[in-house]
Protein backbone atom coordinates (compact mmCIF):
# COMPACT_ATOMS: atom_id res chain seq x y z
CA UNK A 1 0.00 0.00 0.00
CA UNK A 2 1.32 3.39 -1.04
CA UNK A 3 0.68 6.82 0.38
CA UNK A 4 0.81 9.41 -2.35
CA UNK A 5 1.08 13.19 -2.02
CA UNK A 6 -1.09 15.57 -4.02
CA UNK A 7 -0.25 15.80 -7.69
CA UNK A 8 1.13 18.84 -9.40
CA UNK A 9 -1.13 18.47 -12.38
CA UNK A 10 -2.21 21.04 -14.90
CA UNK A 11 -5.79 22.26 -14.69
CA UNK A 12 -7.96 22.64 -17.78
CA UNK A 13 -7.82 26.01 -19.44
CA UNK A 14 -10.50 27.86 -21.34
CA UNK A 15 -8.80 29.01 -24.51
CA UNK A 16 -5.70 29.14 -26.66
CA UNK A 17 -3.68 31.42 -24.40
CA UNK A 18 -0.13 31.31 -23.11
CA UNK A 19 -1.60 29.71 -20.06
CA UNK A 20 -3.14 27.05 -22.26
CA UNK A 21 0.23 26.32 -23.86
CA UNK A 22 1.77 25.98 -20.44
CA UNK A 23 -0.96 23.55 -19.46
CA UNK A 24 -0.23 21.44 -22.51
CA UNK A 25 3.44 21.21 -21.61
CA UNK A 26 2.58 20.11 -18.08
CA UNK A 27 0.16 17.57 -19.44
CA UNK A 28 2.82 16.14 -21.71
CA UNK A 29 5.24 15.95 -18.80
CA UNK A 30 2.66 14.19 -16.63
CA UNK A 31 1.66 11.55 -19.20
CA UNK A 32 5.10 11.26 -20.78
CA UNK A 33 6.45 9.26 -17.84
CA UNK A 34 6.46 5.49 -17.27
CA UNK A 35 2.96 4.07 -17.45
CA UNK A 36 3.69 2.40 -14.10
CA UNK A 37 4.16 5.85 -12.53
CA UNK A 38 1.27 7.58 -14.29
CA UNK A 39 -1.29 4.89 -13.45
CA UNK A 40 -1.17 5.25 -9.64
CA UNK A 41 -0.81 9.03 -9.99
CA UNK A 42 -4.18 9.12 -11.74
CA UNK A 43 -5.99 7.63 -8.73
CA UNK A 44 -7.89 10.42 -7.00
CA UNK A 45 -7.79 12.83 -9.93
CA UNK A 46 -11.10 13.97 -11.41
CA UNK A 47 -12.01 13.24 -15.03
CA UNK A 48 -14.84 15.07 -16.76
CA UNK A 49 -16.18 14.58 -20.28
CA UNK A 50 -18.56 17.38 -21.28
CA UNK A 51 -18.87 18.15 -17.59
CA UNK A 52 -19.85 14.58 -16.68
CA UNK A 53 -17.64 12.26 -14.64
CA UNK A 54 -15.93 12.11 -11.28
CA UNK A 55 -12.98 10.88 -9.27
CA UNK A 56 -10.86 8.15 -10.83
CA UNK A 57 -10.72 5.23 -8.37
CA UNK A 58 -9.41 2.33 -10.49
CA UNK A 59 -7.01 1.98 -13.44
CA UNK A 60 -4.75 -0.59 -15.06
CA UNK A 61 -1.37 -0.12 -16.77
CA UNK A 62 -0.61 -1.72 -20.13
CA UNK A 63 3.04 -1.58 -21.18
CA UNK A 64 4.06 -2.17 -24.79
CA UNK A 65 6.31 -5.09 -23.77
CA UNK A 66 3.30 -6.73 -22.12
CA UNK A 67 1.59 -9.51 -24.12
CA UNK A 68 -1.76 -8.35 -22.73
CA UNK A 69 -1.39 -4.91 -24.35
CA UNK A 70 -3.08 -4.13 -27.67
CA UNK A 71 0.19 -2.59 -28.87
CA UNK A 72 2.21 -5.76 -28.22
CA UNK A 73 1.98 -7.07 -31.80
CA UNK A 74 2.70 -3.71 -33.41
CA UNK A 75 0.40 -0.95 -34.65
CA UNK A 76 -3.00 -1.70 -36.18
CA UNK A 77 -5.84 0.57 -37.23
CA UNK A 78 -7.41 0.08 -33.82
CA UNK A 79 -4.31 0.66 -31.69
CA UNK A 80 -2.74 3.45 -33.78
CA UNK A 81 -3.36 6.12 -31.13
CA UNK A 82 -1.36 4.11 -28.60
CA UNK A 83 1.72 4.63 -30.77
CA UNK A 84 1.26 8.39 -30.82
CA UNK A 85 2.22 11.05 -28.26
CA UNK A 86 1.17 10.89 -24.58
CA UNK A 87 -1.83 12.71 -23.20
CA UNK A 88 -4.34 11.44 -25.79
CA UNK A 89 -7.24 9.05 -25.38
CA UNK A 90 -7.35 5.59 -26.93
CA UNK A 91 -10.88 4.18 -27.15
CA UNK A 92 -11.51 0.63 -28.30
CA UNK A 93 -14.43 -1.76 -28.66
CA UNK A 94 -14.42 -4.56 -26.11
CA UNK A 95 -16.06 -7.90 -26.86
CA UNK A 96 -17.73 -6.20 -29.80
CA UNK A 97 -20.11 -4.49 -27.40
CA UNK A 98 -18.56 -2.07 -24.93
CA UNK A 99 -16.22 0.89 -25.24
CA UNK A 100 -13.09 1.18 -23.10
CA UNK A 101 -11.15 4.39 -22.39
CA UNK A 102 -7.37 4.63 -22.12
CA UNK A 103 -4.83 7.42 -21.62
CA UNK A 104 -1.69 7.14 -23.76
CA UNK A 105 1.50 7.41 -21.67
CA UNK A 106 5.28 7.47 -22.09
CA UNK A 107 7.17 9.17 -24.94
CA UNK A 108 5.72 8.82 -28.45
CA UNK A 109 6.25 5.37 -29.93
CA UNK A 110 6.33 3.58 -26.60
CA UNK A 111 2.72 2.52 -27.16
CA UNK A 112 1.80 2.22 -23.50
CA UNK A 113 -1.51 3.24 -21.95
CA UNK A 114 -3.61 3.29 -18.80
CA UNK A 115 -7.08 1.71 -18.89
CA UNK A 116 -9.72 3.63 -16.93
CA UNK A 117 -11.66 1.01 -14.98
CA UNK A 118 -13.80 2.89 -12.44
CA UNK A 119 -14.89 6.37 -11.43
CA UNK A 120 -16.67 7.67 -8.36
CA UNK A 121 -19.52 9.67 -9.93
CA UNK A 122 -19.54 13.32 -8.82
CA UNK A 123 -20.64 15.42 -11.81
CA UNK A 124 -23.60 14.94 -14.13
CA UNK A 125 -25.31 12.17 -12.16
CA UNK A 126 -28.60 12.63 -14.01
CA UNK A 127 -26.95 12.17 -17.42
CA UNK A 128 -25.11 9.08 -16.19
CA UNK A 129 -28.26 7.50 -14.75
CA UNK A 130 -30.09 8.13 -18.01
CA UNK A 131 -27.37 6.59 -20.18
CA UNK A 132 -26.87 3.61 -17.87
CA UNK A 133 -30.57 3.00 -17.24
CA UNK A 134 -29.95 2.54 -13.54
CA UNK A 135 -30.22 4.70 -10.46
CA UNK A 136 -27.70 2.69 -8.46
CA UNK A 137 -24.83 5.12 -8.08
CA UNK A 138 -22.29 2.48 -7.16
CA UNK A 139 -22.71 0.78 -10.55
CA UNK A 140 -22.76 3.84 -12.79
CA UNK A 141 -19.02 3.79 -13.56
CA UNK A 142 -17.80 0.56 -11.89
CA UNK A 143 -16.06 -1.11 -14.83
CA UNK A 144 -14.45 0.06 -18.08
CA UNK A 145 -17.55 -0.53 -20.21
CA UNK A 146 -19.94 0.99 -17.69
CA UNK A 147 -17.69 4.03 -17.30
CA UNK A 148 -17.76 4.79 -21.03
CA UNK A 149 -21.50 4.26 -21.22
CA UNK A 150 -22.10 6.63 -18.30
CA UNK A 151 -19.86 9.36 -19.74
CA UNK A 152 -21.08 8.88 -23.30
CA UNK A 153 -17.65 7.96 -24.66
CA UNK A 154 -17.44 6.06 -27.95
CA UNK A 155 -15.07 5.60 -30.88
CA UNK A 156 -15.77 9.24 -31.79
CA UNK A 157 -13.45 10.33 -28.96
CA UNK A 158 -10.57 8.08 -30.04
CA UNK A 159 -7.47 10.25 -30.51
CA UNK A 160 -8.74 13.35 -28.70
CA UNK A 161 -6.37 15.27 -26.41
CA UNK A 162 -6.93 15.13 -22.67
CA UNK A 163 -5.88 18.71 -21.99
CA UNK A 164 -8.65 20.36 -23.99
CA UNK A 165 -12.43 20.33 -24.18
CA UNK A 166 -14.51 18.22 -24.15
CA UNK A 167 -12.14 16.53 -21.68
CA UNK A 168 -10.99 18.03 -18.39
CA UNK A 169 -8.70 16.56 -15.74
CA UNK A 170 -8.30 17.99 -12.24
CA UNK A 171 -5.53 17.32 -9.74
CA UNK A 172 -6.36 15.58 -6.48
CA UNK A 173 -6.39 17.65 -3.33
CA UNK A 174 -5.51 15.61 -0.25
CA UNK A 175 -3.41 12.49 0.12
CA UNK A 176 -4.83 9.22 -1.16
CA UNK A 177 -4.15 5.63 -0.16
CA UNK A 178 -3.53 3.45 -3.18
CA UNK A 179 -3.69 -0.32 -3.43
CA UNK A 180 -2.31 -2.50 -6.24
CA UNK A 181 -3.13 -5.97 -7.49
CA UNK A 182 -3.38 -8.23 -10.53
CA UNK A 183 -5.25 -6.95 -13.57
CA UNK A 184 -8.76 -8.17 -14.31
CA UNK A 185 -10.09 -10.11 -17.27
CA UNK A 186 -6.80 -10.93 -19.00
CA UNK A 187 -5.26 -14.29 -19.81
CA UNK A 188 -1.73 -13.14 -20.72
CA UNK A 189 0.82 -11.68 -18.27
CA UNK A 190 -1.62 -12.51 -15.49
CA UNK A 191 0.77 -12.07 -12.60
CA UNK A 192 1.70 -8.40 -13.02
CA UNK A 193 0.25 -6.23 -10.20
CA UNK A 194 -0.58 -3.37 -12.54
CA UNK A 195 -4.13 -2.67 -11.36
CA UNK A 196 -4.32 0.34 -9.04
CA UNK A 197 -7.21 1.51 -6.91
CA UNK A 198 -8.32 3.89 -4.23
CA UNK A 199 -8.22 1.91 -0.99
CA UNK A 200 -11.67 0.82 0.26
CA UNK A 201 -13.56 2.79 -2.39
CA UNK A 202 -17.11 1.41 -2.83
CA UNK A 203 -16.98 2.43 -6.49
CA UNK A 204 -14.36 -0.13 -7.61
CA UNK A 205 -15.33 -2.63 -10.30
CA UNK A 206 -14.08 -5.33 -7.95
CA UNK A 207 -12.53 -5.39 -4.49
CA UNK A 208 -8.78 -5.72 -4.11
CA UNK A 209 -7.62 -8.80 -2.25
CA UNK A 210 -6.17 -7.97 1.17
CA UNK A 211 -2.39 -7.71 1.12
CA UNK A 212 -0.75 -11.10 1.62
Partner DNA sequence: TGCCCGATTAACT
Partner DNA sequence: GTTAATCGGGCAA
**Least distance from C-beta 80 to DNA, angstroms?**
8
Rounded to the nearest 5 percent, the helix, strand and coil shares of the chain are 25, 30, 50
Please select the residue that binds DNA; options are 23, 45, 46, 102, rule is CB under 7 A: 102
Interface with DNA (CB under 7 A), residue from 97, 126, 211, 212: 97
What minimum distance in Å lies between the beta carbon of 105 and DNA? Answer: 11
If one asks whether residue 113 binds DNA (CB under 7 A), the answer comes out as: yes
C-beta closer to DNA: residue 24 or 61: 61
Of 5 and 74, the one with the shorter C-beta distance to DNA is 74
Q: Which is nearer to DNA, 7 or 115 (CB)?
A: 115
Q: In terms of DSSP H, where are the helices of the chain?
A: 18-31, 35-42, 125-132, 144-151
Q: What is the secondary structure of 35-91 as a DSSP string?
A: HHHHHHHHTT-EEEETTEEEEEEEEEEE-TTSTTSTTTT---TTTGGGGS-SSBEEE
Q: Is the CB of 41 or the CB of 60 nearer to DNA?
A: 60
**3 state DSSP class of 153:** coil
Q: Is 59 exposed, middle or buried (0-12, 13-18, 19+ CB in 10 A)?
A: buried
Given the rule CB under 7 A, which residues bind DNA? 60, 62, 68-71, 73-74, 76-79, 82, 90, 92-98, 100, 102, 113, 115, 132, 134, 139, 143-147, 183-188, 205
Amino acid sequence: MLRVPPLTLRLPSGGASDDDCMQKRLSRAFFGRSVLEVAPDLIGTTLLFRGVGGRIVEVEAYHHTDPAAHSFHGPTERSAVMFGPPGYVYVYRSYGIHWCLNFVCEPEGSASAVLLRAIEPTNGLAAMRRRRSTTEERLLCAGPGRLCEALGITRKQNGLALDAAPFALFARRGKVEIVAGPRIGITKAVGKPWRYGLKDSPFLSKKFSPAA
